[in-house]
Structure 1
Amino acid sequence: MSSSRSNNRGTCSRSSSARSKHSARVVAQTPVDAQLHAEFEGSQRHFDYSSSVSAANRPSASTSTVSAYLQNLQRGRFIQPFGCLLAVHPDTFALLAYSENAPEMLDLTPHAVPTIDQRDALALGTDVRTLFRTQSSVALHKAAIFGEVNLLNPILVHARTSGKPFYAIMHRIDVGLVIDLEPVNPADVPVTAAGALKSYKLAAKAISRLQSLPSGNLSLLCNVLVREVSELTGYDRVMAYKFHEDEHGEVIAESRRSDLEPYLGVHYPATDIPQASRFLFMKNKVRMICDCSATPVKIIQDDSLAQPLSLCGSTLRAPHGCHAQYMANMGSVASLVLSVTINEDDEEDGDTGSDQQPKGRKLWGLVVCHHTSPRFVPYPLRYACEFLLQLFGIQLNKEVELAAQAKERHILRTQTLLCDMLLREAPVAIFTQSPNVMDLVKCDGTALYYQNQLWVLGSTPSEAEIRSIVTWLQENHDGSTGLSTDSLVEAGYPGAAALREVVCGMAAIKISSKDFIFWFRAHTAKEIKWGGRKHKTTDGDENGRKMHPRSSFKAFLEVVKWRSVPWEDVEMDAIHSLQLILRGSLQDEDANKNNVRSIVKAPSEDTKKIQGLLELRTVTNEMVRLIETATAPIFAVDIYGNINGWNNKVAELTGLPVMEAIGRPLVDLVMSDSVEVVKQILDSALPGSENV
């Protein structure tokens, strides 16, 4: 959807705004995902992937279609055959459901020819503890009465009749306990603990290598991660996959077998990983598919259960048909997917229900492993990978915060310099000097339209086209102070098609009733490069009809040809702040035609003094607000070295509240061995010298 919006500042925080926009995208995207699923189910091998994904006028899925889609994904009735599943009553261990392969895998199937009166090998209502040896039954019972049962996984159990070892992986659902049973190689049982310890040691080495990397290089961090996961698991290809703000994905790092096609740089449409699947990745951080071509195993359940068994947390959940087909088309038979989560921008009060994502975390991306033949990774090693990803998430979170702080410091510094220009010179200086308005936020071009004159920088529409945009804004958005959109087509601008090769996204602010500043962005595809093969008629996929990364890339380019990179909240805050300062420094000609400030001619000396005081007040108020809300720690001192400014972030990091910090000498707050250094910095900074 277009992110068209007014630039009027609301009362919600920036992070709350981002969360609201994300929720809106999820709500809008889920019916699209459901419709694609329905189209695949209806057409199977005739499904035209690229055209379906990029179809602009796809009918919205009905409520029943969405409900069926979600049920099929979360309660799909089938598991993968590498293990078996038992669902039991949490108190009595009475069997509520089981996979059809459970009797054979647990060696319960009679070897002799059964008699007419012989009981079934496994019956609903059976006390599951009787299927395992005494020590195993006791372990299962103890786990069941433990609150956080998943913390005890895996539990090594042995089948009663054969002694065959399994890892029991337990989790709670709405109707009871689910026990996933994964076979363990009998030769490994005597050293199971040692094997698990070895996995953790391997993960520890990988963690140590990650933590030894210098900060400030996210690309290096991700490249090292995929290499470490590749060495740890042995998959042919390991990719770091990042979700962008508009929900589409990008492969930002890759470790692969040399003969495999590279996917580094591929961008995927948001529909490639549906929102419902992302929700599952938040609940179940590791997802393994051993063989996408293996026939799934049906679950048999008690008729008293109101709906199919929830498989959201099961390690055995079978892949959906379209996902298995996608894997097969790209030559991948097995996969392992690990969730990468980081902190939300902030945390809000209030409990989260069981159907909501964990409080304070968001899905940043995935580490996706593919193999060209069936592959099974034992649970302890998968858990070691999950632990590695948790530590990576912590390190990644620091990198994301550092990048955000660096960006905010750059914006704050640029704003300060632009404000200084506005106080000292005519406003046109922010277009003709350095830094200029293009340095404030990332854009391809910018324009100032003032008193029927035009100043432009970078790649912009023609003068006639900008005047047309001004007219459109005045006629259609006159009640707002501006507009931001990543798609002029979806924003409704009638001349958008003619601008497509130059401009797709625009942020515009009104600095008076008839005057504007514009920032322009070209379509996203101009920034996208991928080194992999493009579509060829010899590929056998009918030019992108099949589900395949090349088809995804083609579909993504089709989707974004009318769209720019979205405008971030921090960028819109910066633009809005500049707007407030400009509106304070320029008199609205409609409000007072006799007191218009010329954009190229300085006012009289008396008027200049009065205006200067008003401008200074506006600028000061805005700069104070920016400093107080900055994510970077900022403090200020007076000429005596006493603290007279202490923003929220520095208070958070130091644990010293604002009211306790104000008025105290800065040197009193530093370690004794740093006092002289701080004094030297203050002695240099107070006269105006800059310390870098």
Structure 2
Amino acid sequence: MVRLIETATVPILAVDVDGLVNGWNIKIAELTGLSVGDAIGKHLLTLVENSSVGIVKKMLEMALKGEEEKNVQFEIKTHGSKVDCGPIRLVVNACASRDIHDNVVGVCFVAQDITAQKTVMDKFTRIEGDYKAIVQNPNPLIPPIFGTDEFGWCCEWNAAMTKVTGWKREEVMDKMLLGEVFGTQMACCRLKNQEAFVNFGIVLNKAMTGLETAKVAFGFFARSGKYVECLLSVSKKLDVEGVVTGVFCFLQLASPELQQALHVQRISEQTALKRLKALTYMKRQIRNPLSGMMFSRKMLEATELGAEQKQLLHTSAQCQCQLSKVLDDSDLDSIIDGYLDLEMAEFTLHDVLVASLSQVMTKSNTKAIRIVNDVKEQIVTETLYGDSLRLQQAIADFLLISINFTPNGGQVVVTATLTKEQIGQSVHLVNLELSITHGGSGVPEALLNQMFESNGVESEEEGISLLISRKLLKLMNGDVRYVREAGKSSFILSAELAAAHKLKD
């Protein structure tokens, strides 16, 4: 979808909730002369003409409230080699971008360049003499134009109108525009309903009395039966003395490229909504058996159990708590952007490692991979403070990736070091470094690029998982490195935790 927008033949731009540009496709860069790199990060209002600031500001404010305006016209500045060409006139549809909570996180603008059409229309409405040469010109830049005299008879119907409606000029000339040409029953171009007929009449009458009229949505059935949707612009026609002698009507149709872009956008939104619904359904259905597992565990805890059974039950509880926390992760941006609140609780590295290892044992046994826990006793028994479940989640993820890319019959070794720094009489800052070493050729570069967010790389399922785990470590003032050696590779995880004064060297 990102690639499609970048290469679309219509101008497309996007902004975040602060109005800062975060999307600027090739077409808009070509029209304005402003490159993608120069546009990104600039406020949208600084890029539009002063006369359009109010229009764009209102449209942006409404879109950020979820009210999406369509067919809004404004002018955008040109830069560099395009400055002498003057501003670009765009007609724009605003589309609010939403996260999985349906919160608006930005706005995407799909536009159509109407600069050339606007120039032609301005010239046309200013002309006082022989306008027929312009109206009847077959040039594709001439929009569909029809007109009526002061009595309501159709007195103009250009070639573009014939192409759009299927009705020839001689078939509509000297017929009543309202009723015979456009109407609800026996008219050439049938309107949808009586309301559309009345609204069209109001627009014509306003223009006839000399009042300015805004562009309005307009639609009718062509001769072929196809329903044509467009924008209608009505201008009064004056004689040399300034007396209104009728009106000219201009139709503005969406280009095929714009229609295709809007179609793709609608499909993408529908697909995203379906995925959101599926994710919501899956989360709900997972919670039900998870609740049953937790209830069964609590019932077992009330029975007489041996030491080994209690340890297994404790490990199961840790995994259940981790799963429950992951199910609550509806806002991944809070992790990726680094504003997730971590918990602070007492734990031992032993419990975290046992729970993490238990999550990969089935996969390792299937591949006959031996897992060696080579972490020293004095490290795993230290009492630490931090978010043990998030640390457990990250370690389990890197263990699984390591096993996935270890040859059958291979070995995965886990080691750790713990260093401390006293920051008070009773508190130590603990730097944990945990290494997961595995044999084989290692994790593919493409997957590592996704984890490290290399430019232009789109994350897939495994890549997103690694990225989230790395971001969790960064929330703990840590990170992850991947080191390749001859015949083996290692994930080196670091995290900053706390410990009480009882911590031993």
Place the TM-score, normalised by the shorter chain, in its bin.
under 0.3
TM-score, normalised by the number of residues in structure 1: 0.19
TM-score normalised by length of structure 2? 0.24
Q: Which has the higher strand share?
A: 2
Highest RCO, 1 vs 2 (Cα 8 Å, sep ≥ 6): 1
The structure having more radius of gyration, on CA atoms, is: 2
